[in-house]
A = this chain, B = another copy of it.
Amino acid sequence: MTSLLKRSGPQFFGPLLQKLRSLGVDSDTELDAVLNRIKVRAGTRRGEDIVAPGRSPGHATVLMDGVACLYGRLHDGNRQIYAFQYSGDFCDLHQHVLPETNNEVAVAAITDCSIGIIEHKDLEQLIAQYPSLGLALWRASMLEASIFRKRLLNVGRQPALQRVAHLLCEQLARREAVGLNSATIPLTQMDLADAAGLSIVHINRTFQELRRLNILSKEGRAIKVVDRERLAGLASFDGNYLNMPQLLSHWQVKIESAPTPAEHRRPCHPPTSATRLCSKPVLQEAIGSCRQHR
């Protein structure tokens, strides 16, 4: 079997290669070994499930092209999108590591998708043979987890406008990382609603606001970002959590008005109004931890 690496250019395997490399798999031997185990599966079209909820079918799934989303449902059918996935992403590592647990998760195609699969036993074998591959996949999982956390922070604590703005920023950044530089994001307002934990109607109104602010394009139904700067500013977007060493420079902290001089303030700042709200004013804790050291 000749080197797939050399043979079939970036067309199909490109994104996966890039992803694996960015996760720390650098030897061509390993990359080639992985590619050799990947089988192409029939594509999935927009709207269909790539990974159905329920038991794992014995293989891991890789998104080779297109956009997908990882989602779960409430008992009433209500959907929550946990994260979007792009070319090169593994769709269902959870099922590989904890096969029993995550029956309540599924992956749906948001655009038509190309899918690759790799048998779980092949994967295990590969990991056994190349420990660094195991680490890379662990990293991939962690990266996804850090997306979950970020989303949780935003859904739990941000108003609609910044929540949506952040979501859009994240998508722009991640698309860029896989070479999609168009300012247009191929999501429907419903997708956004399900990801942001908002109703469609309210997403729509939020969009109107974003358009009014000249951040989103005013014409056409597509979601087209015309002012990334302001968008990132609005969302206080810091792409650091996405762990993309590459072309990330300009996605760094762009606070508009907010303070936050150093990263996260440390305890013992100049105490101010010490009212008891949630845990909002860090001051609280700051003061607290100063005093509590007894």
Enumerate chain A interface residues (CB-CB to B < 8 A).
45-49, 52-54, 72-80, 82, 93-94, 97-98, 100-106, 127-128, 131, 134-135, 137-139, 141-146, 148-153, 155-158, 190, 193-194, 196-197, 199-200, 236, 238, 240-243, 255, 258-260, 263-266, 276-283, 285, 288-289, 292-293
Interface centre among A131, A264, A278 (most CB of B within 10 A): A278
Complex CA distance for A104 and B242, rounded to whole angstroms: 12
A197 touches B74 (CB 8 A): no
Given A148-B149, A264-B73, is A155 in contact with B101 using a C-beta cutoff of 8 Å?
Answer: no
Given A102-B241, A103-B263, is A149 in contact with B280 using a C-beta cutoff of 8 Å?
Answer: no
Given A47-B285, A48-B292, A240-B101, is A94 in contact with B278 using a C-beta cutoff of 8 Å?
Answer: no
Q: How far is the CB of A127 from chain B (nearest CB, A)?
A: 8
B134 touches A141 (CB 8 A): no
Interface centre among A94, A148, A255 (most CB of B within 10 A): A148
Q: Please, which residue of chain B has its CB at the minimum distance from the CB of A49? A: B289
Q: How far is the CB of A2 from chain B (nearest CB, A)?
A: 30
Q: How far is the CB of A60 from chain B (nearest CB, A)?
A: 13
- Taking the full assembly, how many copies of this chain does it contain? 2
Q: Which of B145, B148, B155, B264 contacts A104 (CB 8 A)?
A: B264
B141 touches A145 (CB 8 A): yes
Complex CA distance for A125 and B74, rounded to whole angstroms: 42
Q: Which of B82, B144, B156 contacts A197 (CB 8 A)?
A: B156
Given A135-B134, A152-B155, is A145 in contact with B144 using a C-beta cutoff of 8 Å?
Answer: yes
A141 touches B143 (CB 8 A): no
Q: How far is the CB of A61 from chain B (nearest CB, A)?
A: 16
Complex CA distance for A38 and B59, rounded to whole angstroms: 36
* Set of chain B residues within 8 Å of A82, measured between Cβ atoms: 149, 152-153
Complex CA distance for A283 and B77, rounded to whole angstroms: 8
* Set of chain B residues within 8 Å of A153, measured between Cβ atoms: 72, 74, 80, 82
Complex CA distance for A256 and B72, rounded to whole angstroms: 20
B46 touches A79 (CB 8 A): no
Complex CA distance for A243 and B97, rounded to whole angstroms: 11
A94 touches B142 (CB 8 A): yes
B197 touches A101 (CB 8 A): no
Complex CA distance for A156 and B192, rounded to whole angstroms: 12
Given known contacts A104-B264, A190-B279, what 5 new A-B pairs fall within 8 Å (CB)?
A: A53-B263, A73-B264, A77-B279, A148-B148, A200-B278
